[in-house]
Structure 1
Amino acid sequence: MPHTKDQLPDALYRAAQVQALDARLIAAGTPGFELMQRAAHATWRALVRQWPSANELTVLAGHGNNAGDGYLIAALARRAGWVVQVLAVGDPQRLQGDAALAHAEALAEGVAIAAWTASSELRGILVDALLGTGLSGEVREPYASAISAINASGLPVVVVDIPSGLCADTGHVLGSAVRADLTVTFIGLKLGLFTGDAADHVGNLLFNDLQAPAETCSDIAVAARRLDAANLPRLPARAPAAHKGRFGHVLLIGGDHGFGGAILLSTESALRSGAGMVSLATRPDHVPAALSRVPEAMALGTSSANQLMGLLEKVSVLVVGPGLGQASWGRALLSAAANAPLPQVWDADALNLLASGAVTLPKDCVITPHPGEAARLLGISTAEVQADRPAAALALSKKYTAVVVLKGAGSLIAHPDGRLALCHQGHPAMATAGLGDVLAGLVGALLAQGMNAFDAACLAVWLHANAGAQQGKFGRGLAASDLIPAIRQLLEEHAPCLK
């Protein structure tokens, strides 16, 4: 059955897993050509719904099963009275099996089929049926030129299964990739449709399971779980006699000279996300601003790590790194934190100091790197991180025995045991400073209220992304502090304070 992006299943698979699901369906008695027909009908219905007044179609077809889907879509459009052409980028003589049958059906329906050239005219709705999910290396000619022509055409584009050139496992563009208005994907959701470069290429996403029985994939381990309101962990409701001592005491450490705003954003976020008590250790210069901005937080002007020792014995969770800097002050405070046997969230310069070898990460931590920080922690380039974000997140979680939030479009949450969650919500207006500081404080507050590290990270990332999507509707100029009241509202909607 079809699903829109807001109603998608939560299981995400790698390309090889989806191919295995396809093979199971065929082995269980559904002919491959029938599955191809179902995919073509699903795509045809979706494009007619999206462009109801259209009557012209150009299919760009390769030479695999993805092309077979395209030929069948062309036959359906021709049958409906549309003006249809197929531009064959792959030689139709190379088509085999079900794809060859689809090509024969298009011919029988009277579809005009011609070889694609750089001078071919693209008309109407464009259907990308070029490469599919099997692509692993960089896109080669003539496909690269065909993709460039599609993207330069200015015409509406519908994609069959996955935009050609987008890696189904990682969301990384393999040289070049189609930019779609609509993507219709089948059988199992591909991980690469939700992270990396995917947001720039997928457009509106629809999923159709091609009538696959639920038991088909019941024993296949998912590559990742997509976070949505239905599967998120929840904070329990509070008892009527609840008091602040039951909901943890978060200590936030950071804010060297010139970076006081970062730690204040984290502090306000922790307070507004439900921590019972909040303390702040920062440069003495920033204490007046802290008392003015967040008078509910207990601000400790801290010139040396020795001043932290008594406080470390009284708190339950640490958030370390926002505005910390990498000078001797920040190094000393981070070293003191690293020796405290407490659940911790490390962000920003705490991660840069960790990458430099200046300190060792304690157990049961959450780390929240952006791609550049992740690259330094793994000793690779940022481009390598972005080329396979799922692998990078999992590698970090194993290397540091920590829950990892790899930030960016399609944020990933990885557990050392191999679990991987993904959050595809958000908004481009979130591309602004300070949002990571808000996220770090939010994770700390959820840990303080009793959540385990993986659940706290998953819920925090989802709340943060959806608050950003909500506030992003107002357009450019989003400030990190705008997210804090929106997070509070979303948290209450998701898990009410009272039953």
Structure 2
Amino acid sequence: MAHASLPLDLHSAANVREMDRRTIAGGVPGYTLMCRAAAACVAAIEARWPRVRRIDVLCGGGNNGGDGYVVARLLHLAGRKVRVLYLVEPQRLHGDAATAWSDARSAGVSCVAWRGGDAFAHSELLVDALLGTGLERPVAGAFQAAIAAANAAHARGCGVLAVDIPSGLAADSGAELGLAVQADVTVSFIALKAGLFTGAGPACCGQVRFDDLGATAAAHTLPALACRYQADDLATLLAPRRRDQHKGDHGHVLVIGGDHGMGGAARMCAEAAARVGSGLVSVATRTEHAGVQAAARPELMFRGVEQAAELQPLLARASVLALGPGLGQSAWSQALFAAALAAGRPLLIDADGLNLLATHPQRRDDWVLTPHPGEAARLLGSDTATVQAERFSAARALAARYGGTVVLKGAGTLIASGAAVFVVNTGNPGMGSGGMGDVLSGVIAGLLAQRLTPLDAARLGVWLHGRAGDLAAADGERGLLASDLFAPLRRLVNP
């Protein structure tokens, strides 16, 4: 899902609450902000579901529930058939949320307690105003049951709009707290929450829309938690080449990997590096793979390497190393791993190279590490669930411990360098197939060879890889192969 028109900065829930407070302190009443938020939701409904008549609004307590009551009132006044199903007794509401309920009731909106069962059997659209950004523990009880019922209705074709954030989604991390609403549209307010764009966020949010509700300028001076990357610098980083340039001007990538039975991984990585513009690409692999692979792709230079000493001439000629695709963890793998790290060349490490790094940790500033959550967990001495529950913290911890630039793969891939974190949202579920990570490694290594900095190569490489996957998925996500990315990659790197 493209988010080109949205702000780039992503904030924590605490920051957004402080922005809200500053705006109110600056003279905008809280109920005015609530009404603006509801109006933004109604505008989204008019745009996405202009003909829907039967709408149920699920309301919790607090301001998120208050937003829901105002949405219901506005829809009712516009002639829609609206019902509020509340999970918190209106008499327990306070402040602006209580005002919102009172105004909805006065306008004639039907407000009844949610009692479970098949409450949404006749609903055409659900508005989720159950739980806001303050949720910090797994949902339970009636809220969990209501979310499950909403998701069941969504599965049978009922539309779902989430107010500010899908209920059950952690605003700061994108983790699903037990169970989260699956929305078609999420309308976010004041500032974008970081969790909407990584982890379970992209799957739960659907299309993200945004309204700052007229927040005061002072509210936007808080530092962002992360930043969305959209390759606005693509044309600058990959400018047209001078007419007198030659292959030696565009770097030499050496891919090291392909232990017994895994030659395809190194080959995929190498071809990706060539497709994004590396001038020369060599592959150090098992002898059994070299001849066959060279025949299949003669533009790549394959060398059979059985001893680490045989790697030295190849290391001397390379400008960038891609270490790990199909490398394995055998004695051969460990010897090549040690030789590559000792060579002093800029490098990318992926796959089993990362698993070997986890057992022989060290820190460098000139490398790019590309772990998936399982590999990240091994590098941190943690577990996959913990990494996924705190993706931003995990990415920062990896960068702090190992240095360089870290690419934490997954839905909403994170790129961390020092304290800075960037989020990339290109890509699709069809890319969950063998070889995709090897292609990403080759893309980033190929960009490093063309003298992009590690951070630029990682950010742009992740964006290109995902965008190529999106273009390749035009014929469908199922059955998408890693090699399908090569043609769109070539087009993308020639803007």
Query: For residues 235 and 215 of structure 1, do their structure 2 counterparts lie closer, same or farther at Cα, with a shift above 3 Å needed?
Result: farther
- Who is 2:393 aligned against? 391
- Within a 5 Å distance, the mapping from 1:11-30 to structure 2 comes to 11-30=9-28
Q: Distance in 1 between matches of 2:411 and 2:439?
A: 17
- Who is 1:37 aligned against? 35
- Within a 5 Å distance, the mapping from 1:2-401 to structure 2 comes to 5-119=3-117, 121-122=119-120, 123-153=123-153, 154=156, 155-213=158-216, 216-217=219-220, 219-230=221-232, 234-357=237-360, 360=362, 362-401=364-403
Aligned residues: 488
1:214 shift after superposition: 5.2
Q: Distance in 1 between matches of 2:101 and 2:3?
A: 31
Residues 322-331 or 275-284, more deviating = 275-284
Task: Determine whether 1:403 maps to 2:401.
Answer: no
SS for the counterpart of 1:420 is strand
1:98 shift after superposition: 1.1
1:361 shift after superposition: 5.2
Q: 8 Å contact 2:16–2:190 — kept in the other structure?
A: yes
Q: 8 Å contact 2:363–2:401 — kept in the other structure?
A: no
Q: Distance in 2 between matches of 1:419 and 1:322?
A: 27
- RMSD of aligned alpha carbons: 1.6
Q: Distance in 2 between matches of 1:313 and 1:413?
A: 29
Residues 288-297 or 426-435, more deviating = 288-297
Q: 8 Å contact 2:326–2:352 — kept in the other structure?
A: yes
Query: For residues 4 and 466 of structure 1, do their structure 2 counterparts lie closer, same or farther at Cα, with a shift above 3 Å needed?
Result: closer
1:215 shift after superposition: 5.6
Query: For residues 310 and 4 of structure 1, do their structure 2 counterparts lie closer, same or farther at Cα, with a shift above 3 Å needed?
Result: closer
1:216 shift after superposition: 3.4
Task: Determine whether 1:431 maps to 2:432.
Answer: yes
Query: For residues 231 and 241 of structure 1, do their structure 2 counterparts lie closer, same or farther at Cα, with a shift above 3 Å needed?
Result: closer
1:447 shift after superposition: 0.7
Could you give the per-residue CA deviations for residues 70-128 of structure 1, whole angstroms, max 9, x where no partner exists?
00011111111222211110121221111111111101101111111113723332111
SS for the counterpart of 1:142 is helix
Residues 339-348 or 232-241, more deviating = 232-241
- Aligned AA (1:490): L
1:4 shift after superposition: 7.8
Q: 8 Å contact 1:283–1:301 — kept in the other structure?
A: yes
Q: Distance in 1 between matches of 2:285 and 2:298?
A: 14
Could you give the per-residue CA deviations for residues 174-228 of structure 1, whole angstroms, max 9, x where no partner exists?
01111111111111111111111122211122111212355631x3211111111
Q: 8 Å contact 2:2–2:426 — kept in the other structure?
A: no
- Who is 1:497 aligned against? none
1:487 shift after superposition: 1.2
SS for the counterpart of 2:208 is strand
SS for the counterpart of 1:237 is coil
- Aligned AA (2:127): V
- Who is 2:487 aligned against? 485
Q: 8 Å contact 2:2–2:425 — kept in the other structure?
A: no
SS for the counterpart of 1:280 is strand
1:301 shift after superposition: 1.2
- Aligned AA (2:252): H
Normalised by the length of structure 1, the TM-score is: 0.95
Q: Distance in 1 between matches of 2:464 and 2:203?
A: 22
Identity %: 48
1:411 shift after superposition: 0.6
Q: 8 Å contact 1:56–1:125 — kept in the other structure?
A: yes
1:362 shift after superposition: 4.2
- Aligned AA (1:205): V
Could you give the per-residue CA deviations for residues 5-49 of structure 1, whole angstroms, max 9, x where no partner exists?
331111111111111111121122211111111100010111122
- Aligned AA (1:79): L
- Who is 1:442 aligned against? 443
Q: 8 Å contact 2:439–2:482 — kept in the other structure?
A: yes
Query: For residues 242 and 231 of structure 1, do their structure 2 counterparts lie closer, same or farther at Cα, with a shift above 3 Å needed?
Result: closer
Q: 8 Å contact 1:432–1:479 — kept in the other structure?
A: yes
SS for the counterpart of 2:282 is strand
Could you give the per-residue CA deviations for residues 265-313 of structure 1, whole angstroms, max 9, x where no partner exists?
0110111111121111111111112322321222221111101112212
Q: 8 Å contact 1:129–1:160 — kept in the other structure?
A: yes
1:366 shift after superposition: 0.4
SS for the counterpart of 2:205 is coil
Task: Determine whether 1:453 maps to 2:451.
Answer: no
1:340 shift after superposition: 1.3
Q: Distance in 1 between matches of 2:173 and 2:326?
A: 31
Q: Distance in 1 between matches of 2:299 and 2:81?
A: 68
Q: Distance in 1 between matches of 2:31 and 2:2?
A: 25
Normalised by the length of structure 2, the TM-score is: 0.95
Structure 1: any 5+ residue segments left out of the alignment?
494-499
